[in-house]
C-alpha cells in the first residue's frame, strides 16, 4: 500500500469572522507515513485536526481523504475508515459504557479477539470490564487508542495522546505505540503534540504550524532542528536526537546565574 496518497489538502483555509485562522495549506501524506504536527499555542493544530477528522469543513480549498473528497461523499461512511484518539472523541464515549462492552454485543468473535489484542498491546486488557467513566486519564488515553484501532482504520489521528499522563505513563504509552507502529500493516497516522519529547519513535515526517501557516514540513530529521524550533517558538533552543527520540531545552543565557557571596 506504500506510495498511495492517504490524504491531500489543496489551498485549504479556515476563516472565522474577518480572520483566516488556518491556511491556505497544501499538504499530502502517503500510506506508511507517520506524521507529527507541532506548533505554538494558537497555531491552528486543533483546527487542522478537526478538518482531517471531517468534523469541520474548510472555508476554501479541497480536502481528499482516502480518495474521497469532503463535500462530495457520505461523511459517516468515511469516518468509519478514520481512527481518532483525543479530545475530539473523549466525550463520544458514554461514562457507563464498558471498555469492551460494545464490542462484545455488536461484533463477532474475530472482532472481539482483535479488540482484546489491542487492549493488551496498550496495557489495558485488565480493564476490559470496567466502565469507561471510572478510568484514570492515562487509562482513558490507552483505551481511546485501542478503540480507535478496533475498526481497522486506514488513517489514525492522535490528538495529544500523552497530554495529562505522568512521566511513567507517557513513557509506557510511547513504548507501546512503537510496538504498534512497527507493524507494517499499521495505518498512516498524524499525531498532534505540544512537546517534541512526546513524538513516538518511528515517526517519519513532521509539520510545524505557525500562525495558521506551514512554517516547515518534511522528513522528521530535517524539520525538528534547533534552528527551526528556535525560529518557530521565538526562543533560542537546543534540540537533540538520541537515535529514536527528540529532546528540547532553552539555550543557556549568556550571563551565568550567580548566588550571593559566591
Ligand X SMILES: Nc1ncnc2c1ncn2[C@@H]1O[C@H](COP(=O)(O)OP(=O)(O)OP(=O)(O)O)[C@@H](O)[C@H]1O
Q: Which residues bind ligand X (CB under 6 A)?
A: 16-17, 21, 39, 41-47
The values of phi and psi at residue 183, to 5°, are -75, 120
Distance CA(52)–CA(160), nearest Å, equals 15
Whole-number minimum distance, CB 223 to ligand X, in Å? 17
- Residue with smaller CB distance to ligand X, 124 or 207: 207
Whole-number minimum distance, CB 47 to ligand X, in Å? 3
- Residue with smaller CB distance to ligand X, 91 or 108: 91
Measuring CA to CA, how many Å separate 216 from each of 25, 38, 59, 79, 219? 12, 10, 23, 28, 10
Whole-number minimum distance, CB 50 to ligand X, in Å? 8
- Residue with smaller CB distance to ligand X, 16 or 221: 16
Whole-number minimum distance, CB 183 to ligand X, in Å? 29
SS3 for 204? Answer: coil
Whole-number minimum distance, CB 214 to ligand X, in Å? 13
Residue that the C-alpha cell 487509562 belongs to: 139
Strands, E, within the chain: which ranges? 5-16, 19-30, 34-38, 60-65, 68-69, 82-85, 155-159, 188-192, 205-210, 213-219, 237-241, 246-250
CA dihedral for 88, 137, 167, 234, sign (positive or negative): positive
- Residue with smaller CB distance to ligand X, 107 or 233: 233
Strands, E, within 31-180: which ranges? 34-38, 60-65, 68-69, 82-85, 155-159
Distance CA(170)–CA(164), nearest Å, equals 9
Whole-number minimum distance, CB 168 to ligand X, in Å? 25
- Residue with smaller CB distance to ligand X, 118 or 162: 162
The values of phi and psi at residue 135, to 5°, are -80, 155
- Residue with smaller CB distance to ligand X, 46 or 121: 46
Sort 99 into a burial class: Cβ within 10 Å, 0-12 / 13-18 / 19+: buried
Residue that the C-alpha cell 484518539 belongs to: 85
Residue 30 β-bridge partners: 5
Whole-number minimum distance, CB 46 to ligand X, in Å? 3
- Residue with smaller CB distance to ligand X, 21 or 186: 21
Amino acid at each position: 500500500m506504500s506510495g498511495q496518497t492517504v490524504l491531500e489538502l489543496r489551498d485549504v483555509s479556515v476563516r472565522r469572522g474577518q480572520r483566516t485562522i488556518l491556511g491556505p495549506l497544501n499538504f499530502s501524506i502517503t500510506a506508511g507515513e507517520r506524521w507529527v504536527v507541532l506548533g505554538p499555542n494558537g497555531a491552528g493544530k486543533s483546527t487542522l485536526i478537526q478538518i482531517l477528522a471531517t468534523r469541520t469543513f474548510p472555508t476554501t480549498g479541497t480536502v481528499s481523504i482516502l480518495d474521497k473528497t469532503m463535500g462530495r461523499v457520505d461523511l459517516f461512511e468515511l469516518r468509519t475508515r478514520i481512527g481518532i484518539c483525543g479530545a475530539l472523541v473523549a466525550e463520544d464515549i458514554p461514562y457507563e459504557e464498558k471498555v469492551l462492552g460494545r464490542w462484545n454485543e455488536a461484533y463477532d468473535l474475530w472482532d472481539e479477539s482483535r479488540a482484546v489484542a489491542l487492549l493488551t498491546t496498550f496495557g489495558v486488557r485488565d480493564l476490559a470490564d470496567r466502565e469507561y467513566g471510572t478510568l484514570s486519564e492515562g487509562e482513558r488515553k490507552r483505551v481511546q487508542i485501542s478503540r480507535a484501532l478496533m475498526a481497522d482504520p486506514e488513517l489514525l489521528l492522535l490528538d495529544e495522546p500523552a497530554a495529562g499522563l505522568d512521566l511513567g505513563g507517557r513513557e509506557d504509552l510511547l513504548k507501546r505505540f512503537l510496538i504498534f507502529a512497527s507493524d507494517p500493516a499499521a495505518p498512516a497516522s498524524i499525531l498532534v503534540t505540544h512537546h517534541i519529547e512526546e513524538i513516538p519513535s518511528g515517526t517519519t515526517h513532521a509539520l510545524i504550524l505557525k500562525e495558521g501557516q506551514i512554517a516547515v514540513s518534511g522528513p522528521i530529521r530535517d524539520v525538528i532542528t534547533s534552528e527551526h524550533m528556535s525560529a518557530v517558538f521565538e526562543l533560542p533552543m537546543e534540540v537533540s536526537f538520541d537515535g529514536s527520540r527528540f529532546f528540547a531545552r532553552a539555550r543557556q543565557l549568556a550571563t551565568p546565574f550567580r548566588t550571593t557571596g559566591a
